[in-house]
Amino acid sequence: MGYFYFDETIQERGGFIIGAFVYSPEDKTPAVYSAISHVGLQPGFDEFKSGSRMDKNPHQAKLRGELSNILTNTSVGLIVLPVSERALLGREAIIGLQKILRANGLDKQPHKVFFDEGITVDSKTHNTFLEGVGSLCELRPSQDSILVGGIQLADLVAHSLGGMLLEQLGLISKKVRVGEGSGYDPDLEIELGFELWASLRYQLFKAAQPKPGPIPDDPVGEMIFDVENYGLHISEKCCPSLREAALQRFGDCYLGCIH
């Protein structure tokens, strides 16, 4: 049994929505509840919200760190669609899920799929999915993220991916200190998008083997993995500039050393 959790971030200034699937072979809600308790909050009452001001809410900031640790044992897929097509979010999510299941060999085992509150799937898309690649899946639309803690992981991931795409589009430019334990000088300032990418790059659904490098024996080329065909769905409704930005940011993933 596998578990998928889905949530989205709506970025009006970028004109896009990013939806994130977080996948695990085990239910992540108990781990999320444990993290909530660990930072002094109450499971079933309190939850992580990526839109919270972390500098004004130390509990939320600590919880973000705890959830980031949980994410190291998960896999992540994403969808991109225009903000004008918000009504199609559920349908596009299912299209993306079909791609993830097929490409990563997950279509031969059962899964529970939890969507955040307000995210629904129309009956035609729902039935077509269950009659095809999703025949072993159980879809649970419009779930309360307080009760299904794994959705809070998807909230964190979607928000992080949204920041990365905003930076790719040139709409934000923010630097952050790397801090302790990064392998760098703790006072070194780096682009926010780089920090977000570094925290998620290993979790992205990707090809098992790297892409052939353009130059023989080039160590950089030999560590670039295909995400486009394994963990990324870009809606046909996206304009060319948004599609290109999404491909540039998420289509490939470098897994070599960044120190």
Give yes or no for residue 189 having a pLDDT over 60. no
Q: For 209-258, where are the alpha helices, taking DSSP H only?
A: 240-250
The pTM assigned to this predicted structure is: 0.91
Asked if pLDDT for residue 41 goes beyond 50, the answer is yes
User: Per-residue pLDDT averaged across 71-97, rounded?
Assistant: 97
How many Cβ atoms sit within 10 Å of the Cβ of residue 259? Answer: 5
Closest-CA residue to 115 (of 86, 84, 82, 89): 89
Q: Are 240 and 82 in contact (CB under 8 A)?
A: no
Residue ranges and CATH numbers for the domains of the chain are: 2-159+201-254 (3.30.420)
Name the burial class of residue 128, with classes exposed (0-12), middle (13-18) and buried (19+) by CB atoms within 10 angstroms of its CB.
Answer: middle
Q: At what angle do helices 150-168 and 192-200 cross, to 10 degrees?
A: 140
Distance in angstroms (rounded) separating the CA atoms of residues 252 and 194: 14
pLDDT at 61 over 60: yes
Encode pLDDT of 234-252 as tens digits: 999 999 999 999 999 999 9
Task: Give the model confidence (pLDDT) of 99-110 as tens digits.
Answer: 999 999 999 999
95 vs 105: CA distance, rounded Å: 16
